[in-house]
Chain A
Amino acid sequence: MLANVYAAFGQVFDPYVLMVILFSSIFGLFVGAVPGLTATMATALLVPVTFFMPPVPAIACIVTATAMAIFSGDIPGCLLRIPGTPASAAYTDEAYTMTKNGQAEVALGAGLVFSAMGGLFGTAVLVTAAPALAEIALKFSSFEYFWLVLLGITCAIFIASENPLKGFVSLLIGLLIACVGVGNPAGFPRFTFGDANLLGGISLVPMMVGMFAVSEVLRYALTANQPMLVVQDKIGNVFKGMWALTVKYPLQILRGSVLGTIVGALPGAGADIAAWMSYGMSKRFSKEPEKFGTGHVEGIVESGAANNSALAGAWIPALVFGIPGDSITAIVIGVLYMKNLNPGPTIFINNPVAVYSVFLVFILANLLMIPLGFLTIKVAKKILRVPRNILMPMILLFCVVGSYAINNSVFDVGVMLAFGLFAYLMEENGYPVAPVILGVVLGGMLEENFITSMIKSDGRLMAFFERPIAAGLGVMTILVWLAPVAIRLLRSRRSTA
């Protein structure tokens, strides 16, 4: 193991990789700080670039950029009352109120310092839990994997969507998109309509760029020309008083980090939901809940830690089972496959150096966040003034070239446009987009394990419950499915009684 860790150090502390980390930090900090550009969009934009890199820098690039973006999303929230990324939305009002009260330094400082702490906590859990889980996962057969994937996507629907019914529609559409092409157990070309471009399935990169970047540009087009007003001109020392806050709120930091890591690890729910839940929890357990909403830093401390720890938490199921914890890791899993680093318990045996490199990059990114984040806060006013009517067309052209670059074909530009419009229409009508990506990424795995299990058991459905872990996972999945029905029954009985 030590030899692997040593090798990982060699890989990460290579000048080329360090340069990639530095550039992606700056990119992430910038994307996070510009309202309307999200961490998921940052990932989608980076994928075409990482396509041309060796595995370790490719992953380092995404890990660093997302960690930075989640922090810097706090900056416009604090100064403009517009969250830079959805993960900052939970405490934007609080932070903005603090700024109006002349406490911008404290709000930004808390965002920065406790983001880094939460990120490091999540990383520590990832480093210890992932290999241990992988040991167990090695014993899994197709039955366990089938249930695990099904449980994962089920949780994603029930936790992450306001409207589970529409969430299911999104998921099913994603799973059906995964069916396109010859990549199925029978090797039969499905839904290709005789088009050779579709034989290999719909390319993941143009699809993701369309759904997460083009749809944002479309939304921007409708909100253009809104003036932005920065409240506070000068920002002083953001580190002042942070130690006092750490001493005052140790429990809150720990609670936020733990909750964030768990929510991150649950499939489908990522940093934004972690921040909302954690802010709510902070208010409920606070000794002074009446101060929440009046410019009180406690909730920012807790949920700021939560959204960054969720990022690392999301990597646990992604690395161990190949099941994404959020939409960012859904994209990452696609990248891992492209780099021949197939996620799953065997990655810890076949590619330990790559895994340790991921861990190292996480630690490095969260440490780098403090000085680089400090500099970003210093130049924040300039970033917020970057004209978005110039930025958005550039992003769109970047999307076009990025999608084209994967197969050097304009067919993929069409795929990108189609999915961009589709995602825009879906969101307008309350169909969540994240389950589609989850379905596309997990579709192949779900079908393969299902068909393999059916063949092994000769079509007997009871075989899915005959191994102990499979039975446990199966029962859990069915319980989650039945829970909403049971709750509704209970409610109606109570209201009639």
Chain B
Amino acid sequence: MKINDTISGAAIAALGLTILIHVQAFPAMPGQKVGPAMFPGLLAVGLLICAAGVIWRGLKTIKIEGWVAWPEWIKQHRIAAGFFLIPVVLIVYAAVSEKLGFLPTGIAFLFSLCWVFGVRPLMAFVVAVAGTLVIHTIFYKLLKVPLPWGILSGFVW
């Protein structure tokens, strides 16, 4: 997704301004002229200066580029589905993995992605089970990362 520089510049300016206002509330270091607000404050001023430049350039190209240019792939449903599924599976993973456990979540995670990228369902399932077990072995057994067992708590191995 190509956003015109005017918009991204405005967003940067808004960020800079918000930070500049926010840091005013930071306390001073006792007996010093400099405090925790100084460094982020300077960076925010820098952002504002850069934002002005970015907006200036964006205004010059706005007639040719338009405000927002949607990419071609958005119309190809399969590709768009693949792209948007990535954040979806990550959010779902973060939300349910602790309760459901790593193994079931991981299998669903891999199966859905493989499938949307065009792997045949049976193959996708085999890959999902094998891949989840391999990653589980590397991290749980070898690196001792406490991956959650969730609903499989009774079958810990």
Contacts and interface: CB of A to CB of B under 8 A. Distances in A.
Interface of A: 49, 52, 165-166, 168-169, 172-173, 175-176, 179, 184-186, 188, 190-191, 214, 217-218, 221-222, 224-225, 387, 389-390, 392-394, 396-398, 400-402, 404-405, 408, 410, 413-414, 416-417, 421, 425, 428-429, 431, 446-447, 450-451, 454-455, 458-459
A175 B16 CA distance: 13
Contacts of A224: 79, 82, 117-118
B90 A413 contact: yes
A173 B54 CA distance: 15
B33 A401 contact: no
Nearest to B22: A191
B35 A392 contact: no
Contacts of A393: 109-110, 113-114, 117, 127, 131
A222 B135 contact: no
A222 B73 contact: yes
A168 B46 contact: yes
Given A172-B47, A389-B119, A421 B87 contact: yes
Contact of B82 (A221, A390, A398, A417): A221
B120 to A, nearest CB: 10
Contacts of B144: 52
Contacts of A447: 39
A360 B2 CA distance: 46
Contacts of A165: 50, 53-54, 57
B29 A186 contact: yes
Nearest to B134: A394
B152 interface: no
Contact of B131 (A397, A404, A455): A397
Given A389-B117, A401-B147, A218 B86 contact: yes
Contact of A221 (B39, B79, B98, B114): B79
Q: In the complex, which range does the number of interface residues on chain B fall in?
A: 35 or more
22 contacts: A52-B143, A165-B57, A172-B46, A179-B43, A188-B35, A188-B36, A190-B23, A190-B26, A191-B40, A222-B71, A222-B82, A222-B83, A224-B82, A387-B119, A389-B117, A389-B118, A390-B127, A390-B131, A393-B117, A417-B94, A431-B8, A454-B33
A416 B98 contact: no
- For the complex, would chain B's binding face be called helix, strand, loop or mixed by DSSP majority? helix
A423 to B, nearest CB: 13
B62 to A, nearest CB: 14
B1 interface: yes
A112 to B, nearest CB: 30
A165 B53 CA distance: 7
A451 B27 contact: no
A480 to B, nearest CB: 16
A53 B33 CA distance: 44
B90 A400 contact: yes
Nearest to A402: B139
Given A179-B43, A186-B36, A410-B94, A396 B57 contact: no
A217 B145 CA distance: 24
Contacts of B91: 414, 417
Given A217-B86, A387-B119, A184 B98 contact: no
Contacts of A401: 102, 135, 139, 145, 147
- For the complex, would chain A's binding face be called helix, strand, loop or mixed by DSSP majority? helix
Nearest to A224: B117
Contact of A429 (B8, B22, B85, B145): B8
B33 A188 contact: no
A147 to B, nearest CB: 16
A221 B40 contact: no
Nearest to A446: B39
A451 B87 contact: no
Contact of B33 (A49, A222, A458): A458
A179 B39 contact: yes
A414 B94 contact: yes
B93 interface: yes
Contacts of A416: 90
The 9 closest A-B pairs by CB, nearest first: A393-B113, A389-B117, A186-B36, A221-B82, A188-B36, A405-B145, A447-B39, A417-B90, A459-B33
B6 to A, nearest CB: 12
Contacts of A429: 2-3, 5, 8
A215 B88 CA distance: 14
Contacts of B32: 455
B10 interface: no
B146 A179 contact: no
Nearest to A168: B50
B90 to A, nearest CB: 4
B36 A392 contact: no
B40 to A, nearest CB: 5
A425 B1 contact: yes
A35 to B, nearest CB: 15
B119 A169 contact: no
Contacts of B89: 396
A145 B36 CA distance: 20
A390 to B, nearest CB: 5
Nearest to B142: A52
A300 B47 CA distance: 41
Interface in B107-157: 109-110, 113-114, 117-119, 127, 131-132, 135, 138-139, 143-147
B117 to A, nearest CB: 4
